[in-house]
Structure 1
Amino acid sequence: MLFLFLFVIVVLGLRSPFAEAQKVPAIYVLGDSLVDVGNNNHLKLSLAKADFPHNGIDFLGQKSTGRFCNGKNSADFFAEKVGLPISPPYLSLVSNKSGSNAFPITGVSFASGGAGIFNSTDQRYRQSIPLTKQVEYDSTVYEDLVQQLGSATALDHLSKSLFAVVIGSNDILGYFKSGSDLPKKITQQQYVDLMVMTLKDVLKRMHNFGSRKFVVAGIGAVGCCLSQRNQNKTSEECNEEANYWSVKYNESLKSMLQGLKSELNDMDYSYVDTYTIFSSFIQSPSTYGPFLFF
């Protein structure tokens, strides 16, 4: 899957002082299908599942794992990059929880296929874990860590951990999908502004629970997704309007992160420029080998 490949390339290329393995005790992942490692398998009503072949065909055991790809996804490679085990899906831990100290101190994944910044984004998939709910789960893990380690040690642990946030594509796709009534209710600019402000509130909530180091991904050229191309007569051209507002969202996201860094002096972040690399894939696919496809 192109988006996964893209995110892996960018993340593994991050040069940040907090991306050294010895300084990263845990990775906590929030997001959508690009980083879901199996949470949706535990959602009975969800239509966004990857629990069937050929998902997982290149994963250990060659079985589907709930990842929306053939093998490991970007969250898995990210964990390996900093020398940590893969962060397990939160819902698998909750379903098996028989007492306290159930959450591993090396990280947890809250990501859910179909999720968006807005609670209503997942309606077409019937059920997923929206970002606000993922943060509620994060607060539960925070409380569990305080019980395990004590307040001071837990906060020190979290301050050194990485929090990857990969979300927003489904919100843009939802606005521009065929038959969407959102354009009748809110302008593109208002929608993008609301996305950014909602995400800012989420990041501040996470900061309240000890998060200090963030890896935040912008969104790619979502207008070039098959669902968007299929809306065109030729089924070949990208939806340039969707791409335009993807760029506008990313610009607002970067500005928001810079401002939030000034507001929260102990916050650090790396921004993943998904759009630029994705555009390079589209313009020069042969540069990246014979197996790159859309």
Structure 2
Amino acid sequence: MAMEACSVSPTTFFTIFSIILSVFIAFSDAQSTVPAIYIFGDSLLDVGNNNYLTVSVAKANFPHNGIDFPTKKATGRFSNGKNSADFLAEKVGLPTSPPYLSLVSKSNKQKGSFVAGVSFASGGAGIFNGTDDEYRQSLPLTKQVGYYAQVCAELQQQLGTQAAQAHLAKSLHVVLIGSNDVFGYLDSSNTQKQYTPDQYVSLMLSTLKQHLQRIHSLGARKFVILGTGPVGCCPARRSKTGDCNELGNSISLKYSDGLKSMMQQLKPALGINYSFFETYSIFRNIVQTPSSYGFNETKAACCGLGYLNAKVPCLPVASYCSNRRDHMFWDLFHPTEATHKILVEHLFEGSAYSFPMNVKKLVSL
């Protein structure tokens, strides 16, 4: 009889669990203006989602990736160490938002994981569906936003509608995407025949706008939006003489400038706060004056083989530089940990590249 009196039905247990979790989240939100970070993007922010895409060839879960990560092991980050997602989390005092696919995998039964934030970023992803065709599989932005909708629904079940909305409104929503769409244009003669660069950029922006509006409709109120860098200056896109691909750069700049203008329009229309980061400008400045940022090499990749170490990706058979700190690029496409750290320093506390405010100001609102 005593045991029967102490037994708790599954329904009652779930109710108690939800109440405790709501109290915990309310306390956490009181301690921090940013309870979580939700990330949308490509390989520049991917912290391991592509590890769970079985047929994808866009992976970084093998050496020499991760050589400078705290564990000294490859994690799925396209970097020698940490990337911008890690450094941004450190800035606001949170753990790195885990890969969404790791949380929903059959082997992970953890509950309440989405409350601490989650990353949907995926190597090879683009604004358009199909930009990942070259890599066979990634999570394009459409799918990432769809997963975010599922996360929001689960948060409402766990916390209740009002608490979930308050939680999402305080959280940062980081978006960095578009480079793969630019590469897609450069690599497709059919696309170039169908669209002028200006028309293509307009389509990128209008499509992204729809995704941002949906993210907002689901509860997001604080956005960190990053433009694309000068993609034509990455090792893989430089000419045989080492020059940047200026068509790629011009498209990237048009997109970034258009994105900056679009965010200015969305702020009053949606009632959001945001920080837009001019990735293009700071990358261009690093390329032009590398020594002022502590770099000696901005053309060649640290890890790879062939001209500029850009003919072969950073595979286990590739060689890599001994001093990763003086290289801007880790592999044929991606920055080193040192570059990521510089970007986040300016993103969070700087003023020259952030509009209308830096992220430090954004989180205080």
TM value normalised by structure 1: 0.88
Q: Distance in 1 between matches of 2:37 and 2:109?
A: 23
Preserved contact between residue 93 and residue 102 of structure 1 (Cα < 8 Å): no
Deviations 1:247-282 (A, max 9, x none): 1111111111111112112x1110011011001111
Preserved contact between residue 29 and residue 164 of structure 1 (Cα < 8 Å): yes
Name stretches of at least 5 consecutive residues in structure 1 with no aligned partner: 1-20
Secondary structure class of the residue paired with 1:198: helix
Match of residue 273, structure 2, among 268, 287, 293: 268
Secondary structure class of the residue paired with 1:276: helix
Match of 2:148 in 1: 138
Query: CA RMSD for the aligned pairs?
Result: 1.7
Secondary structure class of the residue paired with 2:58: coil
Shift of 1:62: 1.1
Bigger relative contact order, structure 1 or 2 (CA pairs below 8 A, ≥6 apart): 1
Distance 1:54 1:100, change over 3 A: closer
Distance 1:241 1:82, change over 3 A: same
Question: How do 1:122-271 residues align onto structure 2 when only pairs under 5 Å count?
Answer: 122-177=132-187, 180-229=189-238, 232-234=239-241, 236-265=242-271, 267-271=272-276
Deviations 1:130-186 (A, max 9, x none): 001000000111011001100000000000000000101111111113x54310221
Secondary structure class of the residue paired with 1:270: strand
Deviations 1:60-110 (A, max 9, x none): 321110000011110011011000111000000010477684433110000
Secondary structure class of the residue paired with 1:29: strand
Match of 1:58 in 2: 68
Distance 1:98 1:51, change over 3 A: closer
Matching of residue 279 in structure 1 with residue 284 in structure 2: yes
Number of aligned residue pairs: give it.
270
Name stretches of at least 5 consecutive residues in structure 2 with no aligned partner: 1-30, 297-325, 330-365
Q: Distance in 1 between matches of 2:196 and 2:211?
A: 23
Secondary structure class of the residue paired with 2:328: coil
Secondary structure class of the residue paired with 2:113: coil
Question: How do 1:106-121 residues align onto structure 2 when only pairs under 5 Å count?
Answer: 106-121=116-131
Preserved contact between residue 230 and residue 252 of structure 2 (Cα < 8 Å): yes
Preserved contact between residue 34 and residue 113 of structure 1 (Cα < 8 Å): yes
- Deviation beyond 4 Å, 4+ runs, structure 1: 97-100
Deviations 1:192-215 (A, max 9, x none): 000001110000000111011000
Match of 1:15 in 2: none
Distance 1:93 1:49, change over 3 A: same
Match of 1:77 in 2: 87
User: Percent identity at matched positions?
Assistant: 59
Secondary structure class of the residue paired with 2:65: coil
